[in-house]
């Protein structure tokens, strides 16, 4: 599973369907999930562990002096040009494909910025990343952050984004074409027998082989550590002594990794919707599964208070609501419903589950989910859930997919050893996953299998990030976050030597810019005045 930032627009008047379709999307499909959210830096084996390891090593800082072999990269002069988006300019930078062998080739990175508008003294560049892995930071800053961040922040900072290597405009990894992805997303992700298990494994193999054929060299060099090192080149090229950064979801892993590698160059860092880098993939999968169950229970309690809830009436328990949804999924497993889709797709169990998960990231989508479930369950019209699922996968109306799914798997499968190596290993832990989430547990357990078939071996392992010597870093956690459980924010804040934990007591994924004036004021004060919150500050 991957995570994405989901900004909420206070001025959106276009309706829930358009809002959910146009916002930055919030999760990858079940089939595209694998090592879940994490990445790591040191080389490791392909073994797996159900229990959280207790890694003794922390991410080691790199030497402060720039190696001579990298001087040409750090000395680049970007050529800025218009990019067709009012107020923004774009450039392309180079980074070494392999930092261990800088002479072996380059990777091209897409960069965009919107200069500080004033008034007030310019504070430098503010790099933003919406998460993923696989989310386009360039698209995010042009469509949201560069125009939607608080005016006082945009007045003082150049708003900047770089698509990480392998993502969107930065030499994107490609794996399957549109029709092939349609087939992939409809594959039964909760196999009932050997034949269905073989079909799921075949889908994972086809996906992995497509990625390997497209980018055999790049696929070995899309780790989070390499992306963080790329950000230091961006910092230098922009002329900033320190990196100021707001990262959401997976972006917190990227930002924390930067701080661990370059603690003396870490400026004002906001890590919103934090991840815990010390956990192995299987444990991360399991804890995120429980996070989605927490979010679903909040949705269930809200749903039964509405007159049109199709999953139960007032007073129905969250457990019963979950049972009713699970029964609907099982019905779709044998009898998909129509959607009116131009390409003939029906609403399958997999697509319906994906659509429901998509709505768990933002309580602003709960009304739409309720309407979509009502249409599917009572009117045999699956178009609403299909719309949610398509947004989740970043599939457009013409049947084309962004490279989000491909980059997501490429980074995750390189960053950590796989959760499982065989279907038998998945079956053994199904009860544990189903206990964590009766509704989503089975599908999320099977989703964690796909990195077992990845064409390159993982180069990372779980580790701590301490970033000793870094300036204060703000770590933000939301108590009922579905994708990055609150415990992860607590864990990351406990690892980072200079962290200040900021808590949002509420629902949804991430907190900054999502409606809490307390959160926004606190983060703005930090970004604008360098004043970090008191450790443990809570907002609602």
What residues are labeled active site? 249, 481, 509
Task: Measure Cα distances from 145 to 138, 313, 493, 512 in Å.
Answer: 10, 40, 25, 11
How many C-beta neighbours within 10 Å does residue 42 have? 14
Residue 520 phi, psi dihedral angles, 5° rounding: -65, -45
Work out the angle at residue 476's Cα, subtended by the Cα atoms of residues 353 and 120, and round it to the nearest 5 degrees.
120
Specify the DSSP element, H or E, that contains 129.
strand 124-129
Q: 506 in helix, strand or coil?
A: strand
In this structure, the number of other CB atoms found within 10 A of the CB of residue 423 comes to 17
According to DSSP, residue 263 is labeled: G
Instruction: Report which of 517, 9, 484, 525 is spatially closest to residue 251, judged by C-alpha positions.
Output: 484
Cα separations (Å) of 410 from 31, 129, 207? Answer: 13, 18, 11
Secondary structure of residue 389 in the 3-state scheme: helix
> How far apart are alpha carbons 310 and 302 in whole angstroms?
12
| β-strands 157-162, 131-132 pairing | unpaired
**Residue appearing with tokens 């146009």:** 22
End-to-end CA distance of the chain: 27
Give residues with Cβ within 8 angstroms of 186, minimum separation 6: 345, 348, 350, 351
Question: What phi and psi values does residue 204 have, to the nearest 5 degrees?
Answer: -65, -40
> H-type helices in 361-422, by residue range?
366-379, 383-393, 404-415
Asked whether the beta carbons of 365 and 357 are under 8 A apart, the reply is no
| β-bridge partners, 528 | none
- Residue 472 CA to residue 405 CA, distance in Å, equals 34
**Interatomic CA distance for residues 27 and 3, integer angstroms:** 5
At residue 473, the 3 state secondary structure works out as: strand
> 503: which strand partners?
477, 538
| Cβ pair 134, 167 in contact under 8 A | yes
Torsion of CA 500, 505, 511, 515, to 10 degrees: -130
3 state SS of 215: coil
CA distance 204 to 413: 12
């Amino acid at each position: 599973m991957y995570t994405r930032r989901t900004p909420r627009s206070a001025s959106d008047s276009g309706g829930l369907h358009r809002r959910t379709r146009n916002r930055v999307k919030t999760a990858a499909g079940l089939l595209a999930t694998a090592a879940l959210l994490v990445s790591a830096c040191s080389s490791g084996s392909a073994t797996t562990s159900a229990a959280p390891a207790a890694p003794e090593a922390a991410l080691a800082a790199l030497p402060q002096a720039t190696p001579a072999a990298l001087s040409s990269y750090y000395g680049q002069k970007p050529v800025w040009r218009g990019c067709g988006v009012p107020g923004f300019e774009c450039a392309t930078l180079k980074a070494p494909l392999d930092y261990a062998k800088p002479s072996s080739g380059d990777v091209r990175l897409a960069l965009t910025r919107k200069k500080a508008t004033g008034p007030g003294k310019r504070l430098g560049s503010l790099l933003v990343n919406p998460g993923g892995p696989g989310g386009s930071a360039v698209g995010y800053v042009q469509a949201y952050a560069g125009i939607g961040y608080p005016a006082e922040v945009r007045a003082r900072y150049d708003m900047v984004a770089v698509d990480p290597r392998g993502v969107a405009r930065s030499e994107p990894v490609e794996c399957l074409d549109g029709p092939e992805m349609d087939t992939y997303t409809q594959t039964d992700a909760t196999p009932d027998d050997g034949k269905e298990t073989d079909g799921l494994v075949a889908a994972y193999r086809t996906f992995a082989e497509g990625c390997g054929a497209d980018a055999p060299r790049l696929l070995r060099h899309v780790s989070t550590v390499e992306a963080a090192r790329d950000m230091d080149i961006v910092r230098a090229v922009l002329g900033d002594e320190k990196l100021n950064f707001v990262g959401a979801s997976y972006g917190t892993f990227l930002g924390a990794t930067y701080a661990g590698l370059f603690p003396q160059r870490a400026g004002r860092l906001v890590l919103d919707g934090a991840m815990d880098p010390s956990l192995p993939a299987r444990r991360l999968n399991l804890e995120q599964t429980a996070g989605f169950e927490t979010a679903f229970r909040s949705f269930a309690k809200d749903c039964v208070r509405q007159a049109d809830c199709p999953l139960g009436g007032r007073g129905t328990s969250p457990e019963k609501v979950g049972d009713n949804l699970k029964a609907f999924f099982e019905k779709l497993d044998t009898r998909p419903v129509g959607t009116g889709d131009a390409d003939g797709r029906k609403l399958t169990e997999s697509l319906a589950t994906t659509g429901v998960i998509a709505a768990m990231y933002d309580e602003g989508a709960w009304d739409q989910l309720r309407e979509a479930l009502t249409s599917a369950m009572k009117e045999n019209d699956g178009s609403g859930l299909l719309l949610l699922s398509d947004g989740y996968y970043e599939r457009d109306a013409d049947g084309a997919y962004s490279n989000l799914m491909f980059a997501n798997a490429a980074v995750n499968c390189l960053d950590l050893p796989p959760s499982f190596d065989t279907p038998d290993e998945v079956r053994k832990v199904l009860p544990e996953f189903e206990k964590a989430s009766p509704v989503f547990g089975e599908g999320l357990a099977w989703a964690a299998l796909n990195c077992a078939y990845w064409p390159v071996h993982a180069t990372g392992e779980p580790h701590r990030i301490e970033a000793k010597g870094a300036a204060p870093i703000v770590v933000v956690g939301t108590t009922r976050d579905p994708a990055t459980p609150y415990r992860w924010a607590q864990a990351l804040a406990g690892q980072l030597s200079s962290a200040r934990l900021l808590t949002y007591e509420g629902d949804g994924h991430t907190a900054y810019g999502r409606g809490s004036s307390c959160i926004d004021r606190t983060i703005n004060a930090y970004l604008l005045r360098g004043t970090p919150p008191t450790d443990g500050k809570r907002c609602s």
